[in-house]
């Protein structure tokens, strides 16, 4: 089965419990990571933003509240059940038409060339079937000077790795199995985190896909990193 299809199926299977599992497994620190990401975006005051691999929409909702009603946010995912969760969350709030959740596959985005001021993607790049292709697609849709913001797991500080990898391999899948009933999805998560590039390696891949001024910062012992880049 191609990776994209398997990833789509896996997220469909955990969509209903995704938020609970996220906050439980990260001890709630994922709220902080997303807020650091949004603060970086806010500095650039983009008018139109696309949040890719939006999942249940947490980055998109936060973008909306921080950028204000003059900005438009299109939030895309290729997994319909995840989008349904985001749409239900939107329906439960009073949100206007400047936030839209819609289908979009990062391997081939339904967005015109050079039409977007900023792209955010949180915990999505790791799941791409073809990372270079996804990054080039993002580059294609950004206006010249447009900004890319990636929040993703990274390789933690060396001293912290034994503790972290023990947690990932032995504790996280069991706790996640209790929360979601889907241990396999979290075995996958642990595997993709362990094999994901370091900050320096990911920066090189972003440069290779046509971006400039790539910067990265590690957070929480570099469990996650934020990469920013300019087209």
Ligand X SMILES: C[S@@+](CC[C@H](N)C(=O)[O-])C[C@H]1O[C@@H](n2cnc3c(N)ncnc32)[C@H](O)[C@@H]1O
The binding site for ligand X (CB under 6 A) comprises 4, 7-8, 11, 53-55, 58-59, 77-79, 82, 105-107, 122-124, 127-128
For ligand X, give the closer residue by CB, 89 or 161: 89
Please report the DSSP string for 121-149 in residue order. EES-GGG-SSHHHHHHHHHHHEEEEEEEE
Q: How far is the CB of 159 from ligand X (least distance, A)?
A: 27
For ligand X, give the closer residue by CB, 78 or 164: 78
Judge contact between 125 and 134, C-beta under 8 A: yes
- In this chain, which residue has its C-beta nearest to ligand X? 55
Q: How far is the CB of 43 from ligand X (least distance, A)?
A: 20
Judge contact between 229 and 148, C-beta under 8 A: yes
Q: How far is the CB of 8 from ligand X (least distance, A)?
A: 6
| Residue whose C-alpha is closest to residue 112's, from 142, 146, 75 | 142
For ligand X, give the closer residue by CB, 2 or 144: 2
Q: How far is the CB of 16 from ligand X (least distance, A)?
A: 13
Q: How far is the CB of 114 from ligand X (least distance, A)?
A: 20
For ligand X, give the closer residue by CB, 42 or 102: 102
Judge contact between 152 and 126, C-beta under 8 A: yes
Does an H or E element contain 91, and which? helix 80-91
Integer angstrom CA distances of residue 144 from 132, 138, 230: 19, 12, 8
For ligand X, give the closer residue by CB, 131 or 159: 131
Give CA–CA dist 80/161, Å, rounded: 35
Q: How far is the CB of 221 from ligand X (least distance, A)?
A: 19
Give CA–CA dist 224/68, Å, rounded: 27
Q: Are strands 212-219 and 72-77 parallel, antiparallel or unpaired?
A: unpaired
For ligand X, give the closer residue by CB, 21 or 229: 21
């Amino acid at each position: 089965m191609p990776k994209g299809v398997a990833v789509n199926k896996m997220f469909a299977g955990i969509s209903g419990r995704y938020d609970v599992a996220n906050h439980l497994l990260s001890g709630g620190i994922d709220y902080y990571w997303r807020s650091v990401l949004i603060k970086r975006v806010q500095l650039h005051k983009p008018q139109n933003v696309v949040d890719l691999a939006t999942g249940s929409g947490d980055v998109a909702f936060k973008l909306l509240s921080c950028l204000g009603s003059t900005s438009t946010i299109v939030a895309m995912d290729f997994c319909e059940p995840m989008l349904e969760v985001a749409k239900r969350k939107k329906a439960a709030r009073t949100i206007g038409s400047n936030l839209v959740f819609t289908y979009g596959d990062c391997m081939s985005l339904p967005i015109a060339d050079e039409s977007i001021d900023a792209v955010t993607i949180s915990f999505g790049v790791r799941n791409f079937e073809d990372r270079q292709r996804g990054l080039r697609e993002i580059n294609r849709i950004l206006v010249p000077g447009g900004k890319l913001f990636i929040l993703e797991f990274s390789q933690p500080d060396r001293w912290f790795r034994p503790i972290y990898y023990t947690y990932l391999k032995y504790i996280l899948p069991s706790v996640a199995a209790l929360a979601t009933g889907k241990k396999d999805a979290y075995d996958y998560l642990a595997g993709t985190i362990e094999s994901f590039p370091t900050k320096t390696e990911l920066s090189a891949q972003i440069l290779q896909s046509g971006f400039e001024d790539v910067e990265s910062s590690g957070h929480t012992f570099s469990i996650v990193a934020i990469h920013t880049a300019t087209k």
